[in-house]
Structure 1
Amino acid sequence: MQLKDLDKRDRQILNFLQEDGRLTNAELAEKVSLSPSACLRRVKQLEESGLVSGYHMMLDAKACGLTGAAFVFVTLEGQGRDILARFERAVKEINEIQDCYLLAGEYDYLLRVVYQDAADLERIHHDILTNLPGVVRVNSTLTLRAVKHTTKINM
């Protein structure tokens, strides 16, 4: 199933579940005007199609003591597959790195890093980021506040 194959109800189901993944099937069925069995059948088809990658609980970083976020541009010593693979394997093991994107352009990667305070950011920079495989330069930009953060894709 692809996005173009979705009808209005499938799109409604996906939108409602993106807003609240804890909806019961009965609540969801009522919202999209389907019987619970028909709704459950559609949800299972959407999950099996690969459009749904999972269900997750999102924690509030500040409530967890992570009051800061930084975007970090990373330059590696080269673009060889081995260098990229070693860097990416290492990044996946570091909890402070929330997101990692391979870039086209001036920098090789963009990371989103969360931290507790200035001392914690210094620790992450000195002990972690600059010691990642292949790193020759990091350039950090600190956020003042998040204006928008979403994982929702409008259907």
Structure 2
Amino acid sequence: MSASACFQRKKALQEAGYFFNFHTEMDLDRICEHVLAYVEFYLKSNTAQQRRQFENALQDIPEFMDCLRMSGDVDYISFTCFPNYNALKQMCDSLSDNPSLGINRIVIRPVLERTKWYLGYPLEKLKWIE
């Protein structure tokens, strides 16, 4: 496919709502000091209102880059990037101290080493919707 045809196809798919964002992966280890961690959140209550309050709070914190609502004993898992461990801990303490968020417990799991990079969804392995 030519570059022009490829661009037109990408534009058509984007306008149709099939994808909505582009980003670049950077090797942060070569650029800046940082701490990556997964943070588990356990809520006191699992009501829709409580979940909305918690989710809205995390939307405003750019260091929480991804957040997934989970099944099982943990309610949410978030992938984070902070300048250092103290900044991460302070943010988690601040969230935990906010009674309106209903957080029962927070578990911080620092990333020791990134052994595989996310390079996109395995589209060739997924069943397409007709």
Measured against the shorter chain, the TM-score band is 0.7 to 0.9
Counterparts in 2 of 1:86 and 1:71: CA distance versus 1, 3 Å: same
Q: Give the Cα separation in 1 of the matches to 2:3 and 2:37.
A: 46
Residue matched to 2:128: none
2:124 matches 1:153? no
> Which residue number corresponds to residue 85 of structure 1?
52
Runs of at least 5 residues in structure 2 that lack an aligned partner in the other structure: 124-130
Cα deviation digits, residues 64-107 of structure 1 (max 9, x gap): 432x1111111111111100000000000112211111001011
Percent identity at matched positions? 24
- In 2, distance between residues paired with 1:55 and 1:120? 28
Structure with the bigger RCO (C-alpha within 8 Å, sep 6+) is 2
Distance 1:41 1:70 in 2: 38
| TM superposition shift of 1:150 | 1.4
5+ residue gaps, structure 1: 1-31
2:107 maps to which residue?
139
Within a 5 Å distance, the mapping from 1:44-59 to structure 2 comes to 44-59=11-26
Query: How many matched pairs?
Result: 120
Could you tell me how far apart the structure 1 residues matched to 2:63 and 2:3 are? Answer: 43
- Give the alignment's TM-score, normalised by structure 1: 0.67
2:8 to 31, 41, 53: 41
Larger Rg: 1
